[in-house]
Structure 1
Amino acid sequence: MRYRWTVAFAVLVAAGVLGSAFIGPGGVENGGDPPREQLLQPGQGADYVWPYTSRSQSIDGRTLALNVVIVGTPAEVRAVLTDQSELEWAAAESDQGLNESVSVSQLDEPVSISPWRSARGAARYTYVAERPGSGEWVESDYQLATGTYLGSRTHIRAYPGPSDNWTALQAHTEYWDWFRLRHSVTGIAEGSRTVERDLRDERFVDEVSRVYHGHAGGGSDGWISVIRLTSATDVSPGSIDEAPGPGSTLGLLSVVPAVAVLAAAVPPVRRRDLWDAALPLSIVVVVLGVRSVGIAAEGLFPAANPKIFAGVLYPMLVVGPLLATALLARGRPATRMALLAAAGLGAGFVLDLSGVGVRTVPIRLVLHRTALVGVIGLFALGVASEERRVASAGAVLWVAILAATLLGMV
């Protein structure tokens, strides 16, 4: 029976590792600059912009869609987002309405100004051109965020246009993934809504609308938020069709089925065996504790680079579950402890992601977490049964999967 569970956990690990390694985000097929039909004009007779961002200076690295355009000079736009208290604006009237637009003045809850601060993030590029065929790839001029770096936040990258009368934003929500040591994006819709809520009732904003421009993919459903400052001219994005890209998300609770099946197989716990519950509880405490301590440290020392706290706390996340399992599973029923350890780590994942507001996660991430659940179960099985080879294999796989994750291989 014990060997069957060893094989079962090994299969779980293999399926998770291979799945997360080979299932990746989709992208466009061709490299180089975007073709003319993929460009968007943020203003009538104005410049062109590719309505996406990219990891590289090529459409081959396409990531998220641009989802907000603020019409005004770059200095005005930046001041609007970061230093609103010192702005002085003269009222102006818009002389033209938007095509295919919907006013958002009454769509959301009351306005609440977010504390936007300078932010850190990876380099992302977009393509801008004064006329087709004469464009260039540009990196974001600045980045802003509200929220916590080691928790969840709304993150903005700003791209001023060549004509200096508009700025395109890529606004998205994201959370810090402790097991990958980087941010994972949860979507762009809430990012644009946050910018809308912050600005729509301000005296220096003439109108906030949503315009359908026909571009899909990169998290976009074809709509873009357009915010006109009182000193700015009108905007009328063009309409370019693009086939929507397929989504690849899975409900957060999809990480639970494998854990639930394992937990259901745990024999009924008698009173004298209640101490066994210490194992899954300790693993949950490690996972949630690292997140909580990181956020608390970030709040206490706002001037410090949050990555310093991540570097200090990450070893605890690596060693903690293994150490708890080694101490609490030894000498206990092997199958029970393996299942409890796997269930504890799975519960820690779910509670951690729920705590930062994550409701859906990519299937690749689900498979990665499934592999880790299988590994901790395999390690617990070896520790409890005092089979050093199985325990060693579990420990080596745990470290190997985390190392491969940091190197971007998983």
Structure 2
Amino acid sequence: MRRSIVIVVALLALSVLFVGSLSLLVSPSTTDIGTNEAEVSPRLTSVNDSESKFWRFLSPQERFQQRSPINVIVRGDTADILRTMTEESDGDWEAIETTAASGDAENGTILEEEAGHATGVEWGEAIGATRYAWIDPGPDERAYWTDETAQLQDGDYYGHRYHIRLYESPNPADQWIAMQGHTEHFDWFTLRHRVDGVEAAQSKIESDFMSHPQVDTERDVRRIYLDNAGPSDANGWATVVELTGMIVLPAGVGLIARKRVATTDTGADGRTDSERVSEYTPDAIDTHLTDVDRRRIAAAYDRLEAGHLILVFTILALFLGVRMGGLFLERRVDVLTPHMIAAVLYPIIAVGIPITTALIARTLERRLDAALVAAGSLALAIWLDYGLVGVDSLPIDVVLQRMLVIVALGLIAGGATKRAARDPRLNDMLLVGVVMWVVVLGGTLLGYL
């Protein structure tokens, strides 16, 4: 019993160290990503004194919950705006004449510019949960709830993406589209997208329109205060882009290619990164070890079994393989819907990881070693996964859920070892680990965790 308590305490310490503490230190704030569930009376916004107005938030239900703040408004014809954001050029090349004033060529030199999209990003069609906007057409009609005119994305459904929901004005003469843009990643534990923030997406959409050749950044792009800060990292300001009266460029118009110059970074000491790394080669590290350190390393090495390494790479391969498999199937297998892909891959996490962990742990001797290796491997896999999708901020509920699954997998591994199997009383560790794994994953899917 005492050994079981030691293992549980060690697993809790490991989960706090590698998930709890690090997320609090690395993330700007774990409270930035949140939602305001309070239902309020709507305060409506009009665009350039148009008759139609809209509420400055979106809601997952047809009631006034301050969930997703409107952060971009584009004025112009709906069809033109969508065509500007989504249509691809035909890939033609256009030749232009340069002058000596450029400093790069003599007068009369002909350069070729690579054809590209009218703006910086070619937004693709997206799917996502419905969010409702409250629209008031004007004094002669009643206000109503409406779903999206379109959803666009840049990125991957099963990875990280910029996601936009667009809502067009009810009156054609008003010519505006309200947008809600945010960044999000697919969470394989919840099988849903988790919003990371809205500010980065707003900046991306803003810079995307600013790259349009007919947009004057000083005249046609501005920000207005909508007073809808609060959810996520929203600051209450929305970008307004004026496209009214512009001629949308046809496909095939060349855009100037940008060049990047690689540089070698040197620090204040005048050395490159590779020169600094040379200080930490195995030979250099060995000179700093004491005899006590060497004995401890030797003792740890003697406890190492081949099964430990197999367990590490198996957990990493299964967990990260689900992420990479989702991206591969999304990009390469058109016949599978997102729900089909989730149905194929989620059992690898829910069932494959704990069963494989238990089978490998049966070949190991020590409970504590197996528990820590399994829990540490899952913690490492989670952080590598977050690195793949570019997540650097975690809300508290996610931190707690990840800590619980790490502890549960550690208990499964510890309870399945040879030493645990000798004494039936200690198999309670395996039972507790399995029950904890099922409860935590089930509660996560149902929205309780």
Which TM class, normalised by the smaller chain length?
0.7 to 0.9
1:224 aligned onto 2:224 = no
The CA distance in 1 between the partners of 2:222 and 2:312, in whole Å, is 47
1:55 aligned onto 2:60 = yes
Q: 1:26 to 1:184 in 2, by over 3 A?
A: closer
Aligned to 1:176: 186
Aligned to 1:369: 402
Name which one, 1 or 2, has greater alpha-carbon Rg: 2
Q: 1:142 to 1:9 in 2, by over 3 A?
A: farther
Match of 1:335 among 356, 368, 382: 368
Aligned to 2:438: 399
Aligned to 1:30: 39
1:199 aligned onto 2:209 = yes
The CA distance in 2 between the partners of 1:396 and 1:9, in whole Å, is 19
Match of 1:351 among 381, 384, 389: 384
Match of 1:117 among 120, 124, 128: 124
Q: 1:299 to 1:161 in 2, by over 3 A?
A: same
Match of 1:308 among 310, 320, 340: 340
Match of 1:135 among 129, 140, 143: 143
TM-score by length of 2: 0.70
Which AA in structure 1 matches 2:6? W
Deviations along 1:304-352, one digit per CA (max 9) or x if unpaired, are 3233222101111112321232122224211111111111111111110
After superposition, the CA RMSD in angstroms is 3.1
Runs of 4+ in 1 over 6 A off after TM superposition: 9-13
The CA distance in 2 between the partners of 1:266 and 1:328, in whole Å, is 24
**5+ long unaligned stretches in structure 1:** 17-22, 87-109, 233-264
Is the 2:53–2:138 contact (alpha carbons within 8 Å) kept by the matching residues of 1?
yes
Is the 2:226–2:238 contact (alpha carbons within 8 Å) kept by the matching residues of 1?
no
1:321 aligned onto 2:322 = no
Is the 1:127–1:138 contact (alpha carbons within 8 Å) kept by the matching residues of 2?
yes
Which AA in structure 2 matches 1:157? R
Aligned to 1:71: 75
Is the 2:11–2:371 contact (alpha carbons within 8 Å) kept by the matching residues of 1?
no
TM-score by length of 1: 0.76
Deviation of the 1:79 alpha carbon? 1.7
Is the 1:290–1:316 contact (alpha carbons within 8 Å) kept by the matching residues of 2?
yes
Q: 1:12 to 1:54 in 2, by over 3 A?
A: farther
Is the 1:196–1:225 contact (alpha carbons within 8 Å) kept by the matching residues of 2?
yes
**5+ long unaligned stretches in structure 2:** 20-30, 91-116, 247-295
Number of positions where the alignment pairs a residue of Structure 1 with one of Structure 2: 344
Deviation of the 1:292 alpha carbon? 0.8
Deviations along 1:172-205, one digit per CA (max 9) or x if unpaired, are 1111111111111111112122222322232454
The CA distance in 2 between the partners of 1:12 and 1:76, in whole Å, is 56
Aligned to 2:319: 287
Q: 1:190 to 1:25 in 2, by over 3 A?
A: closer
Q: 1:338 to 1:200 in 2, by over 3 A?
A: same
The CA distance in 2 between the partners of 1:191 and 1:344, in whole Å, is 33
Deviation of the 1:125 alpha carbon? 0.8
Deviation of the 1:141 alpha carbon? 1.3
Is the 1:9–1:378 contact (alpha carbons within 8 Å) kept by the matching residues of 2?
no
Is the 2:58–2:131 contact (alpha carbons within 8 Å) kept by the matching residues of 1?
yes
Secondary structure of 2:186 counterpart: strand
Q: 1:328 to 1:269 in 2, by over 3 A?
A: farther
The CA distance in 2 between the partners of 1:365 and 1:28, in whole Å, is 18
Deviations along 1:9-62, one digit per CA (max 9) or x if unpaired, are 79789x99xxxxxx994424335xx33xx32222224422111111111123x3
Aligned to 1:251: none
